[in-house]
Amino acid sequence: MTKGALRAGEQLGLANAKIAQVLHLDAQAISAMDAGVEHLRGDTPNGQRAITLIKIHQALATNVGLDAEAAKRWIASHNTALAGTPASLMQTEEGMKAVLAYLQSMEAPQGA
């Protein structure tokens, strides 16, 4: 899960400092995770945030395909429906849930 969260953040165009903010960790913890010294646990608040980050990445990939640049643009751009940029909103738990819910709603078949 640790490497998956770091990879998801990187593929979304988030620098390590932004990943640290999203996961509510400090930069040293992210560096230690990147080096394989520390690991996230799914039964912790930080681990739960990492799982949500991975889900956001997966949901966005479903919507934009494998276009990494499109995913990065989406994360960094203002979204009227969300009333902010997803990257900024993801710094709070409520914001992460809102971003994930929005992306999942976009995956749902229309008219079903």
Domains held by the chain: number: 1
Tell me the whole-structure pTM to 2 decimals. Answer: 0.90
Q: 29 falls in which pLDDT band (50, 70, 90)?
A: very high
Express each pLDDT in 54-90 by its tens digit: 999 999 999 888 788 999 999 999 999 999 999 999 9
Which residue range is the domain that position 79 belongs to? 2-107
Residue 112 domain flag: no
Q: 112 falls in which pLDDT band (50, 70, 90)?
A: very low
Are 68 and 24 in contact, with CB atoms under 8 Å apart?
no
Residue 25 domain flag: yes
Half-sphere exposure of 70 (CA within 13 A, CB side): 8
- 35: phi then psi, degrees, rounded to nearest 5: -85, -5
Residue 81 domain flag: yes
DSSP 3-state percent helix, strand, coil across the chain (nearest 5) = 65, 0, 30
